[in-house]
Structure 1
Amino acid sequence: MTATVEVRNLVKRFGALEAVRDVSFQLPEGETVALVGHNGAGKTTVMKLMLGLIRPTEGCVRVLGEDPAAGEFAARRRLGYLPESVSFNTGLTGRETIAFYARLKREPIRNALSLLDRVGLTHAADRRVGTYSKGMRQRLGLAQALLGSPRVLLLDEPTTGLDPALRQSFYEIVQELRSGGATVLLSSHALTELEERVGRVIIMNHGVKVADGTMDELRLIARLPTRIRMKVTESGLSRLHDWLEPVSDWRRINGHIVEVDAAPQEKIEILRRATSANAPVEDLDVIPPTLDELYAHFLRSQERAS
């Protein structure tokens, strides 16, 4: 699969501060990738390097085959970017704002105005941006990022200020772009909402890439326990100790609900017992390690190693 973004041995220093340290990865077309990390982990710096807003101290970045730090970065027209904190001229209306950015990107005004409808701002198109709520400004920022059907879309905390319905609508737009072959890089602290919506996760900590892979790949590497939650029958409660032996890491959490932390090598055996004909189990749920748990694990592992 063709890589739209290539990052090789990237280093960025601001004086004595090393914001990014020897980071490498590729982003293929048609992939949605989450870039996660705490504040100061280097996520926004990496995005700015991809955009050519700052130059790398060492290493290189190629976006759509070009160096974004070069004087003539023609690929910029095929990039979309939504910064963490959007800021617009508050005296302009939403319609005037999107038309302004369309002219900068040399896109037809008519196409640009249709984006206001796509992000749910048609009703406020002729209101001044100064009257917009935070969520409305975020939607306007998303509209300008979508100008020109970008092949690479960089989104920094894109769902901040959006209500649940608009978040769902946002991810539907992301899915449409990905299906059309666009590369989407999402940076967010909202790990729960990213978990089922991205194909790959890159975790950064203190400027270093500490993990990179699909959720299944990260779970395989981390080897964290899987939670198995079972609803046990009334008669089964009295023989829990015998039935679960030799599993020791289990607990009753509410009435007939029992939860087991199953190590990778124990999971199949526990499920076999829970689904056998004589098992006192009425229902069960298998809950694999979440992105929040994986994120915490990889950060702890890096800190122990350093």
Structure 2
Amino acid sequence: MTPTIDLSGVSKSFGPIHAVRDVSFSLKEGEIVALVGHNGAGKTTLIKMMLGLIRPSAGTVRVLGEDPSTGAPEVRTRLGYLPENVSFNPALTGTETLRFYSALKRAGRGQIRGLLERVGLAGAADRRVRTYSKGMRQRLGLAQALLGQPKVLLLDEPTTGLDPASRRDFYRFLDELRDSGSTILLSSHALSELEGRADHVIIVGRGLKIADGTLDELRRIARLPTRIRVKLAEGKERRLEGGRDWREVNGHMLEIDAAPEDKVELLRAAVRAEIADLDVTPPTLDELYAHFQDIEKEAGR
């Protein structure tokens, strides 16, 4: 299967500043990809190269099989983008704003009302954008990005300003787009939001790609412990088989950090005991992110 996005040995320098250094990765259709990294890690530069707004200093970028910097209409019309900070003409209404962008994208106007309904702006469609809250402008930006039913969607901090209900609806919509075959790249600092929603995670730091894989693959590489916590049945002795590393928590629970090779045996010890409850918490995306960033700092590249 031909990748929808393919970066090979991509670097980008701005004078003496190396914003991106020898980054390679491929994305396929029908997946949600999280691009994570601290401010200045190179995320926005990578997105701008995928959009064709800037050219790489070295390496190649291909989006839907084409070089996006050539401005090929077959790429632009099938590519959606939501910047971190959306800005629209405040004098236009929501409907007029989408009409303007649909004309630029040659997407047609037939889907405008449906998109406004989908992002929760149907009731404000004829209001001036100047009256919109930050969250409403963000939702209008998402509707703009979805014009033309793009095959590739690049979203930079897309849930900024959205309330919890709107965030839930937003991710449900992304799942539908993924299931229809779209490739969705999410650049975000909200790592807890992305956990369980991203099929593929790319971690960047100081312009380098420092980790790339599914959450399970990154966990295997990092070998961080899994936290096992049990609540013992009333009146039972507050200890378990498996050694002295079980520690008491809140006076009524036992907890242990299990190395990958010990996890199964410790779980068996827990279920052999008379317990009232059991929680197993694998390393979170936040913990994996910190782990790989620490390794990169120690490498000092």
Is 1:66–1:73's contact at 8 Å kept on the other side of the alignment? no
Is 1:2–1:28's contact at 8 Å kept on the other side of the alignment? yes
User: Which amino acid in 2 is paired with 1:134?
Assistant: K
Is 1:98–1:113's contact at 8 Å kept on the other side of the alignment? no
1:292 has 2:278 as partner = no
TM-score, normalized by length of structure 1? Answer: 0.95
Q: Distance in 2 between matches of 1:33 and 1:95?
A: 30
User: Which amino acid in 1 is paired with 2:25?
Assistant: F
Q: Specify the alignment match of 1:90 in structure 2.
A: 90
Q: Specify the alignment match of 2:243 in structure 1.
A: 246
| Per-residue deviation, 1:236 | 3.0
Is 1:202–1:212's contact at 8 Å kept on the other side of the alignment? yes
| Per-residue deviation, 1:47 | 0.5
Runs of 5+ in structure 1 lacking a partner? none
Q: 1:275 aligns with which of 259, 262, 271?
A: 271
SS at match of 1:286: strand
- Summarize deviations over 1:32-71 as a string: whole Å, max 9, x none: 1000011111111100000001111111100011101115
| Per-residue deviation, 1:160 | 0.6
- Which of structure 1's runs of 4+ aligned residues deviate more than 4 A? none
Q: How does 1:91-240 map to 2 (within 5 A)?
A: 91-238=91-238, 240=239
RMSD, aligned CA: 1.2
SS at match of 1:275: helix
User: Which amino acid in 2 is paired with 1:225?
Assistant: P
User: Which amino acid in 2 is paired with 1:285?
Assistant: D
Q: How does 1:250-261 map to 2 (within 5 A)?
A: 250-261=246-257
Return closer, same or farther for 1:30/1:11 CA change in 2, 3 Å cut-off.
same
Is 2:242–2:269's contact at 8 Å kept on the other side of the alignment? no
Q: Specify the alignment match of 1:45 in structure 2.
A: 45
Is 1:21–1:207's contact at 8 Å kept on the other side of the alignment? yes
Is 1:99–1:113's contact at 8 Å kept on the other side of the alignment? no
Runs of 5+ in structure 2 lacking a partner? none
Q: How does 1:27-42 map to 2 (within 5 A)?
A: 27-42=27-42
Q: Distance in 1 between matches of 2:264 and 2:236?
A: 21
Deviates more, 1:102-111 or 1:284-293: 102-111
- Summarize deviations over 1:53-97 as a string: whole Å, max 9, x none: 111111110001110111545311100000000000011111100
| Per-residue deviation, 1:172 | 1.1
| Per-residue deviation, 1:120 | 0.5
User: Which amino acid in 1 is paired with 2:281?
Assistant: I
State the identity as a percent.
63
Is 2:10–2:20's contact at 8 Å kept on the other side of the alignment? yes
Is 2:135–2:162's contact at 8 Å kept on the other side of the alignment? yes
Q: Specify the alignment match of 2:69 in structure 1.
A: 69
- Summarize deviations over 1:93-145 as a string: whole Å, max 9, x none: 11100110011111221212321111000111111101100000000000000
| Per-residue deviation, 1:28 | 0.5
SS at match of 1:221: helix
Q: Distance in 1 between matches of 2:227 and 2:220?
A: 15
SS at match of 1:235: coil
Q: Distance in 2 between matches of 1:244 and 1:232?
A: 13
Q: Distance in 1 between matches of 2:244 and 2:169?
A: 44
